Amino acid sequence: MRRMALLFSVLLFSLLLCSVPTLEAQSLSDHPRVREAVGLIEVWLDAQRAYERIPGISAALVHDQEVFWTGATGYADPETGAPATTGTVYSICSISKLFTSIGVMQLRDAGRLRLDDRVDALLPWYDIQQVYDGSPPVTVEGILTHSSGLPRESDHQYWIEPFDFPSRDQVIERLGEQEMLYPSDRYYQYSNLGLTLAGEIVAEVSGTPFDEYMRARILGPIGMDSTWPDIGDYPFPERLAAGYSATRRDGTRTRMPPFDAEGISPAAGFASTVEDMAGFAAWQFRILDAGGDAVLSGNTLREMQRVHWLDPDWEITRGLGFGVYRSGDVTYVGHSGNCPGFRSAIRLHLPSRLAAIIMMNANAASPSTLAVEMLRVLEPVMDEAAAGRDSVEGSTPGGKEMPAEFSRYVGSYDENPWGGETAVFPWKGGLAILWLPTMSPSDELTPLYHVEGNTFRRERDDGEPGETYVFVEDESGRITGMRYHNNTYPRIE
């Protein structure tokens, strides 16, 4: 499957680079540099899936209102051979919290509640034991920022097999036997219990069952027709991916039984597709620009996406429902999910109007890192595409094309036993290499420049020439390997 996907990517490059539309008919995603970056991402994600032994990955990229790439690799269900697609349904687990938080903020904007409202004033049955004298009350804002002092979970064992999640009634019944973990407004503690209570607030204040409220007031109006508030009740079960565990010591993964988050659904129960989540990202960019729509005010979304809590360690920052993350000097917003057999992430870079979505059906490599790396590859490329478009009005989009004769070098070369493989792909009108697997393609991508014939040299970070790379061909002229440092690495066919 990995090699099939790699061959597909090579063919896709050839097709894309043969024809460039005029500026009037193009988006930024038509720019050659953007197409090169998307091709790199396809090859990289497929390799990560294969080396990490992840059954399937689906992903999407968004620029403002354009979902300019969606893709999938591997299997939604390895046992049946069903392929992963962009319409495959995954558990998105804690990304559910974004929708629950939007519901709370809708009611706030409607004057039905305040962020400083006490939870015990909104939920008549709220009776957790407050064991800290002088603690402030637990508030709506404390729940949405995970600074309430509530324990992480309801007092039930549901994160190990058989994943027996409590019902709503069981959560309520056991709450009075639980104690506060910290005084309120003292520390950050991620809390599924807290966002479960947020869902109960939505239902109590609105007078509508939580799942009905989500579908009628948020998911439906945004157009998220494949998204459901409780994976256990998903109406089209044939579309659900099969989930797999983390790898065991022998390198295998265990198929996870289906689960139903039941009473924990507001915190961890939603199921969705990368297509729907890409639409969700585009909706966010749209209302931020337009000032809002029937679902939410743009100002309210900005409020949710800026920091409302800074932990005493000066490292953990939270918005209202949203995570606010720093990677180097760049800020992203979004959320991640991790449930039995599934991991997912959505990351938005607001200044560039770029978003990345990743879903996988295994407890595997960090999807948040994958999503951020997709954006790190794209951000400078999109800037270059925008600059070219703005400066060359009415012409083709600019950006140097890879010479057609270089396409014979594109592919992967076997680095065994020292590593996985070296991928060669179009980059900046020439070629670049990337050693796979890697979690940091934006840092490890290495440009090559052409010397003559089949000979290239590595371009160092300072612009000076580095070692020589020679592509080896057989008597028929077919490329069979790549030679550098006196060693020839065979091409993966």
- Predicted local distance difference test score (pLDDT) of residue 327: 87
Question: What integer pLDDT is reported at residue 308 of this predicted model?
Answer: 97
DSSP 99-137: HHHHHHHHHHHTTS--TT-BHHHH-TT---B--STTPPP
Phi-psi region of 327 (alpha: psi -120 to 50; beta: other; left: phi over 0): beta
- pLDDT at residue 419 in the model: 92
What order of strands is seen across the sheet that includes strand 479-484? 411-414, 421-427, 430-436, 446-452, 455-459, 465-473, 479-484, 487-490
pLDDT of residue 400: 74
State how far the Cα of 158 lies from the Cα of 72, in Å rounded to an integer: 30
Q: Which two tokens stand for residue 421?
A: 């493989």
Burial bucket for residue 472 (CB in 10 Å: 0-12, 13-18, 19+): middle
- Residue 336: name the closest of 104, 93, 85 by CA: 93
Q: Quote the pLDDT of residue 15.
A: 34
Cα–Cα distance for residue pair 46/68, rounded to 1 Å: 18
Half-sphere exposure of 55 (CA within 13 A, CB side): 31
**3-class state of residue 37 by DSSP:** helix
The per-residue pLDDT for 248 is: 95
Can you give the pLDDT at residue 341? Answer: 98
Domains and CATH numbers, the chain: 91-364 (3.40.710.10)
- Report CA torsion sign: 413, 415, 419, 422: negative
Q: What is the mean pLDDT of each run of 10 residues along the chain (493 residues)?
A: 40 36 52 93 97 97 96 98 98 98 98 98 97 97 98 97 97 98 97 98 98 98 98 96 97 96 98 98 97 97 97 93 94 98 98 97 95 96 76 47 94 95 95 96 94 96 93 97 96 94
Q: What is the token pair recorded at 116? A: 């400083």
What residues have CB less than 8 Å from 371, skipping those under 6 apart? 334, 345, 346, 347, 356, 357, 358
CA of residue 346 relative to chain centroid, distance: 4
The whole model's pTM is what? 0.91
| DSSP notation for 237-258 | GGGBPPPB----TTS--PBPPP
Q: Which residues pair with 60 in a beta bridge?
A: 70, 357
Q: Virtual CA dihedral for 217, 219, 220, 224, nearest 10 degrees?
A: 170
